[in-house]
Chains A and B, each alone.
Chain A
Amino acid sequence: MKTRIVIGFFFFLILAGTTISAFGQGVEEKAEGKEKFKASTYILEHIADSHEWHILTKKNGESVTIYLPVIVFSKESGLNIFSSKRLAHGQEYKGFRLEEESDLKGKIVSVNEEGQVDEENLPLDFSMTKTVIGMLSAAIIGLILFLFLARSYKKTGVSHPKGIQSFLEPIILFVRDDIAIPNLGLHKYEKYMPYLLTAFFFILINNLMGLIPFPPPFGANVTGNIAMTFVLAFCTFLITQFSGNKSYWRHVFATPGVPFWLLPVMIPVEIIGMVSKPFALMIRLFANITAGHIIVLSLICLIFIFDSMALAPISVFFVIFMDCLELLVAFLQAYIFTLLSALFISLAVQEHH
């Protein structure tokens, strides 16, 4: 009871503090006519992909940014490779511009001599963006980890796990014993283990790297990018369809026990079901990771919205709490993606009796 009163009092203090500082902020703003802090733009900028990696802005307005390579292909000038520094602050270079307004915001467009955007044929953009760098570094980290692992297995054999082995072996065994074997069965699981392990560790490493805000290869929102999760889910889709056996396809095109006049309805429904499962995989991973990033960023934004230093410790405390939760989510989402992939594959390969 006593602790409850104390906690209640604490929250009351926080509330009172925030309202007072918010009130102060409002008055100050009117006096100075300062530009209002827009939390949503700030958050969206942080979770979106970009051609440059912004690290910090100094007090005098200078910003420390890593400019990433831009690779664009257009019909007129062919392949162009240059640094995105040439496009910074709305500059034009070689007839390209990084659009800052309108619905093409954040995209590279080709402009003619009068500076008008050619909306008909947009150049193809293969740039090494933030997401691409993040993804490649995750792949490299994964490769290094597993090449070390393979080498130590070669040296010591399977008997005594040591060093990196004792860290990764339980996770690999977890994927095998808790995901692959219960769903796919003892006879078929080995064929799909490479994909399941790859998907699991790739998602896990990317999720964890996304949680580390700093320095650059970390902190890109890779698994919170819909294109990224689309490709992952599309792999599961392809594997499911290509490993589908006779009874799986019969279930789709001639569902047993269904009268033939119902088939025109059943076949589209089955095909939608085929597509919607990986679609849910894609949206789930994307939404969970993006939501986590948004929560953390909005907690940080609270400091700037109320413009008070007093709020900072509370906000940081909640951010740490959320980050701990996100650690769990990072693992859980990798697990669920792999588990459901295994489940969908198992539905396609199981024998009906």
Chain B
Amino acid sequence: MTGTLAAIGAGLAVIGAGLGIGRIGSSAMDAIARQPEAYSKIQIAMIISAALIEGAALFAIVVALM
């Protein structure tokens, strides 16, 4: 039972992180399309924020696994 609940929790965490990273990706695409010359700066900012969101999701998954 707890295993099932943990799996559901991990799934919910992934939904949240997926939505967040998806939004970052789409906004970064828009930004790059508008300003192709700022490509590298946007990419770094995008990866950093994606990594931070991923960090939150990983915490959730670790809690779910424990």
Q: Which candidate, A74-82, A114-122, A191-199, A280-288, is the interface stretch facing chain B?
A: A280-288
Residues of the A chain whose Cβ atoms lie less than 8 Å from the Cβ of B62: 283
Judged by DSSP, the binding face of B is: helix
A280 touches B55 (CB 8 A): yes
What's the nearest-Cβ distance from chain A to residue B22, in Å?
17
Nearest CB of chain A from residue B45's CB, rounded to whole Å: 10
Chain A nearest CB, measured from B21 CB (Å): 13
- Judged by DSSP, the binding face of A is helix
Known: A178-B40, A178-B44, A339-B44. A284 touches B51 (CB 8 A): yes
| A-chain residues with CB within 8 Å of residue B55 when the two chains form the complex | 280, 283-284
Nearest B residue (CB) for A277: B55
B-side contacts of A228, CB under 8 Å: none
Contacts of A335 in B (CB 8 A): 47
Given the complex, which residues of A lie within 8 Å of B42, measured CB to CB?
Answer: none
B54: min CB distance to chain A, Å: 6
* 8 residue pairs bridging A and B, Cβ less than 8 Å apart: A280-B52, A280-B55, A280-B58, A283-B59, A284-B51, A284-B58, A287-B58, A339-B47
B contact set with A: CB distance below 8 Å: 40, 44, 47-48, 51-52, 54-55, 58-59, 61-62
Known pairs A178-B44, A284-B58; list 11 more (Cβ under 8 Å).
Answer: A178-B40, A280-B52, A280-B59, A283-B55, A284-B51, A335-B47, A336-B47, A336-B51, A339-B44, A339-B51, A340-B51
